[in-house]
């Protein structure tokens, strides 16, 4: 969980940096150029197949872990359920993860699959001498729907809570706990888990409100 989680957290940073090109008001020129590059560069294609495998691995391992931990707890539950407020994200990692998995399936169907099936209209970009697929169209369409924007932002809140625990937890599981460095790891983790989802949420909000 820790190794795949750390890889996925690294991916989120790259994904966000790429997506921030949507904030450029150029009708998707930069974004489409980037999307073509990301789907045709052999090194990045190799990394992306690793990524798909890691997403599946992280999800499968997480669900199996959740089920085995539930059975370890036994059939009788405590009549009085006590938990400290700061434990809430960590106690709900499985539920948060399942919401993210559902979001991810929709997310991949909407953008990634359409592109892979070649269903998107071609568009000319300055960087290439041939037309590329216009991924900007489904993105702009989705983010013009207020319900989708709200759904997307809520999913980013869920991602934030998942990362709130996941960041520090990955280091702890790998044995990286030290009185000098753990407070730093935790602080970086909390900043990361707010900044990254906030960055993703900014894109649909910006695109929606700048079009009104």
Partner 1 sequence: MRLTLKIWRQGGQYKGEYVTYQLPDVNPDMSFLEMLDVLNEQLISQREDPVAFEHDCREGICGTCSLVINGRPHGPMKGTTTCQVHMRHYHDGDTIVIEPFRAQAFPVVKDLVVDRSAFDRIIQAGGYVSVNTGQAQDANAIPIEKETASRAFDAAACIGCGACVAACPNASAMLFTSAKISHLALLPQGQVERQKRVLAMVAQMDKEGFGKCSNVTACEAECPKEISVENIARMNREYLAAVFASEKEMA
Residues near partner 1, by CB under 8 A: 65, 68-69, 71-74, 76-84, 87, 90-91, 93, 165, 168-169, 172-177, 179, 182
Question: What DSSP assignment string belongs to 28-42?
Answer: THHHHHHHHHHHH-H
Which one, 102 or 174, has the nearer CB to partner 1?
Answer: 174
Which one, 78 or 147, has the nearer CB to partner 1?
Answer: 78
Task: Provide, rounded to whole angstroms, the least separation between the CB of residue 97 and partner 1.
Answer: 11
Beta strands in 24-168 (DSSP E): 122-123, 132-133
Residue 60: other Cβ atoms inside 10 A: 10
Going 20 to 187 to 10 to 97, the CA torsion angle's sign is negative
Task: Provide, rounded to whole angstroms, the least separation between the CB of residue 172 and partner 1.
Answer: 5
Which one, 68 or 210, has the nearer CB to partner 1?
Answer: 68
Q: Please, which residues have CB within 8 angstroms of residue 20's CB and are 6 or more apart in sequence?
A: 199, 203
- Separation between Cα atoms, residue 142 and residue 156, nearest integer Å: 16
Which one, 133 or 162, has the nearer CB to partner 1?
Answer: 162
Task: Provide, rounded to whole angstroms, the least separation between the CB of residue 71 and partner 1.
Answer: 7
Which one, 82 or 209, has the nearer CB to partner 1?
Answer: 82
Residue 141: other Cβ atoms inside 10 A: 11
Task: Provide, rounded to whole angstroms, the least separation between the CB of residue 13 and partner 1.
Answer: 22
The torsion angle over the Cα atoms of residues 10, 96, 62 and 60, rounded to 10 degrees, is -90
Task: Provide, rounded to whole angstroms, the least separation between the CB of residue 154 and partner 1.
Answer: 24
């Amino acid at each position: 969980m820790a190794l795949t989680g750390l890889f996925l957290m690294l991916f989120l940073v790259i994904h966000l940096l790429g997506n921030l090109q949507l904030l450029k008001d150029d009708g998707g020129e930069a974004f489409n150029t980037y999307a073509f590059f990301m789907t045709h560069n052999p090194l990045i294609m190799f990394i992306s197949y690793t990524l798909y495998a890691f997403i599946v691995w992280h999800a499968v391992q997480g669900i199996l872990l959740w089920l085995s931990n539930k059975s370890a707890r036994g059939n009788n539950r405590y009549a009085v359920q006590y938990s400290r407020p700061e434990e809430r994200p960590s106690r709900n990692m499985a539920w948060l993860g399942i919401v993210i998995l559902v979001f991810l399936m929709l997310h991949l169907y909407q953008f990634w699959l359409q592109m892979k099936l070649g269903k998107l209209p071609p568009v000319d970009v300055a960087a290439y001498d041939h037309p590329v697929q216009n991924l900007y169209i489904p993105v702009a369409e989705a983010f013009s729907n207020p319900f989708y924007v709200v759904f997307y932002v809520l999913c980013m809140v869920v991602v934030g809570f998942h990362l709130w625990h996941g960041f520090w937890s990955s280091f702890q599981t790998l044995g990286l706990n030290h009185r000098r460095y753990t407070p730093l790891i935790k602080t970086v983790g909390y900043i990361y888990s707010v900044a990254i989802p906030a960055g993703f949420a900014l894109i649909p909000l910006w695109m929606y409100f700048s079009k009104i």
